[in-house]
Structure 1
Amino acid sequence: MLRIRLIEEAIAERYAEQEMRCPVHLSIGQEAVAVGVCAELRRTDKVVSTHRCHAHYLAKGGDLKAMMAEIYGKAAGCCGGRGGSMHLFDDDVGMLLSLPIVASCMPIAVGAALALRQEGTDGVAATFFGDGSIEEGVFHESMNFAALHRLPVLFVLENNLYSCYTGLADRQPDRPLADLAKAHAMAAETADGNDLEAVRAATARAVARGRAGEGPTLLVFDTYRWREHCGPNYDNDIGYRTEAEFQGWKAGCPVERTAAALRAAGLLDEALEAALRRELGAEVAEAFDFARNAPFPAADSVKDHVYG
């Protein structure tokens, strides 16, 4: 979680240099969901993500240098510099892809789960999505198909309360989001999305159900993004949320909560944390240097991978 936090804070800090020419959707404040879920997945399990994908890619083991090169639009990027921040994949670790179109990741994860079933493995697929995605028809279509065929899919809902700038109360009736699973006779669990161990425990149960052939699970994790919907800045001043709300969620920072628990257990002290931050800081700096110095795609490749 600390690694993801430091990487995204560095992206936010350097974004004004205008060398990263793609939009960025940061997960600062939401790291426990990505880490808690991916900690329970095998390398061969499949993950599909959204526009807010950095944390999922990194938690699944994606190549940091390839991610940064992609954000800088360089040929060494995981999509050859053609996709940018919202299009990350790493076949080696089961990160199938990320897609910016709201809810479009879900049917791909369902298809991946079907493929794992047809291959005779006990692998699972996970699809991350935000609370705005539950208002799309493909959410219910994917849930229905997965439940009907008892596919090993984890529907991971990162409920950060807002779809861009519209709050949940203005978009949804007042009922638990986990109740959405009832319409599809699907198992569901809700947990504090800023509590790493709670996320991991709920995910472990869902993964066990999937591997045992007991079908999909809807996982609802309540969390909160600290920065603006799209971009590196804070936006508490524009009126859609209050500073008090933000500070309340920030007090439950998943990185600090986990660090506090580790300190209490005698597993982390100031010296170790300082050493960890130095090590991670050096890795982040190296990744940025790699991305900035890497070449852009060759001009004569402009028509590659374009189909009509």
Structure 2
Amino acid sequence: MPNNASEHSDRRLEQLEQMILIREFESRVQTLFENNELPGFVHLYLGQEAIAVGACSTIEADDYITSTHRGHGHAIAKGLEPDRMMAELFGKETGYCGGKSGSMHIADVDQGMLGANGIIGAGQPLAAGAGLSIRRSGSDQVCLSFFGEGAMAEGQVHEAMNLAGVMDLPVVFICENNQYGEMTPAEEQHHVEGFEARGEVYDMPAETVDGMSVDEVYRATSDAVERARSGNGPSLLICETYRYRGHYEGDQMRYRTEEELEAWKERDPIETLEASLLESYALAPSRLEAFYDEASERIDDAVEFARQSEYPSPEAAFEDVYSEEI
């Protein structure tokens, strides 16, 4: 945790810059998809940036994360480069997975990004496995495991949380409650008021956090990461948030009102942090403008990189099918 005002401001400025980059990436992906430049489906992270950035700000480069089908924000927050991510969305060979994963399965094991995942709740068993690997190796690494509230109804999520609890694995389970599992309100999917009780079942600390506040996410995740590194086992964080777009691009969003969306946008995580930093004079208006210009330029370059890259050869379909024998 920061021990003085300067470190605190520097950290918040970095978080703002990263959130702006994620939003610029996602906004551009939205446009590219509307223009039929991207194959497959995309699920955008717009509105939820504070969670990925706040949480990943607490971990080190050699720590792990597992992600979801809505994983672009997690990937960027973990340090993946927008150009190779964009190439992956375009299906090009210069992408992180050679153009084979598309939007929902971007991974870079070398950077600790164990994968976005199109299967709901599939990241939590991977996180428990990573935690067990950490335990067996004797390192002090941790794994953050992101998932939506819809995944709380998946059996494999409970199996993973149970195993992590029983074995005191260094995993922080981060539930991003964006209020809707696909098109169904959370309260219609779960016969429980709040999710903290799920932590009690597995005897792990649980806390509900304002997922629209990067400061609150950072604070809560810092505590959970410190607990995990110290060998005291897993934690559960429930981050209350809202996705600005539909479940997927093309979703007509008939299940929610414009008034509801605008009410959440009034608490926009980027605008809130901008206002705080400007008010405290930690951020000059010119520097804020530079953040947006730099993010736009990076995404311009990423799109150009993706467009100019080659598609994988047909023979590449037979590569990366089996792991090398150890």
- Give TM-score scaled by structure 1 length: 0.96
Matched with 1:251 is: 266
Q: Does 1:277 align with 2:277?
A: no
- Write out the 4+ residue segments of structure 1 that deviate beyond 6 Å after TM superposition: none
CA distance in 1, matches of 2:317, 2:258: 45
Matched with 2:283 is: 268
Matched with 1:73 is: 91
Give the counterpart of 1:36 among 37, 54, 61: 54
Q: Secondary structure at the match of 2:104?
A: coil
Q: Tell me the CA shift for residue 90 of structure 1.
A: 1.8
Any residues of structure 2 matched to 1:214-225 within 5 Å, and which? Answer: 214-225=232-243
Matched with 1:12 is: 30
Paired amino acid for 2:220: A
Contact 1:103 / 1:139 at 8 angstroms: preserved in 2?
A: yes
Q: Does 1:63 align with 2:81?
A: yes
Q: Does 1:299 align with 2:314?
A: yes
CA separation of 1:235 and 1:264: change in aligned 2, threshold 3 A = farther
Q: Secondary structure at the match of 1:173?
A: coil
Paired amino acid for 1:159: N
CA distance in 2, matches of 1:305, 1:130: 29
Consecutive unaligned residues of structure 2, counting only runs of 5 or more, are 1-18
Any residues of structure 2 matched to 1:1-308 within 5 Å, and which? Answer: 1-231=19-249, 235-236=252-253, 238=254, 240-306=255-321
Q: Secondary structure at the match of 2:100?
A: coil
Contact 2:25 / 2:82 at 8 angstroms: preserved in 1?
A: no
Contact 1:210 / 1:216 at 8 angstroms: preserved in 2?
A: yes
CA distance in 2, matches of 1:174, 1:146: 22
Q: Secondary structure at the match of 1:300?
A: helix
Q: Tell me the CA shift for residue 291 of structure 1.
A: 0.4
Q: Secondary structure at the match of 1:96?
A: coil
CA distance in 1, matches of 2:317, 2:170: 39
Q: Tell me the CA shift for residue 180 of structure 1.
A: 0.8
Contact 1:206 / 1:216 at 8 angstroms: preserved in 2?
A: yes
CA distance in 2, matches of 1:120, 1:224: 38
Residue by residue over 1:187-236, the C-alpha shift from the partner in whole angstroms, topping out at 9 and shown as x without a partner, is 111110001100000000000100111100001000000001011x6744
Contact 1:47 / 1:126 at 8 angstroms: preserved in 2?
A: yes
Contact 2:67 / 2:117 at 8 angstroms: preserved in 1?
A: yes
Q: Secondary structure at the match of 1:97?
A: coil
Contact 1:226 / 1:234 at 8 angstroms: preserved in 2?
A: no
CA separation of 1:259 and 1:234: change in aligned 2, threshold 3 A = farther
Q: Which moved more, 1:24-33 or 1:11-20?
A: 11-20
Report % sequence identity.
39
Q: Which moved more, 1:8-17 or 1:287-296?
A: 8-17
Residue by residue over 1:234-267, the C-alpha shift from the partner in whole angstroms, topping out at 9 and shown as x without a partner, is 744x2x1111111110111001011111111102
Contact 1:227 / 1:235 at 8 angstroms: preserved in 2?
A: no
Contact 2:20 / 2:291 at 8 angstroms: preserved in 1?
A: no
Contact 1:63 / 1:90 at 8 angstroms: preserved in 2?
A: no
CA distance in 1, matches of 2:315, 2:142: 40
Residue by residue over 1:22-44, the C-alpha shift from the partner in whole angstroms, topping out at 9 and shown as x without a partner, is 21110000000000000001101
Contact 2:82 / 2:298 at 8 angstroms: preserved in 1?
A: no
CA distance in 2, matches of 1:189, 1:146: 17
Contact 1:62 / 1:89 at 8 angstroms: preserved in 2?
A: no
CA distance in 2, matches of 1:302, 1:120: 37
Contact 2:168 / 2:231 at 8 angstroms: preserved in 1?
A: yes
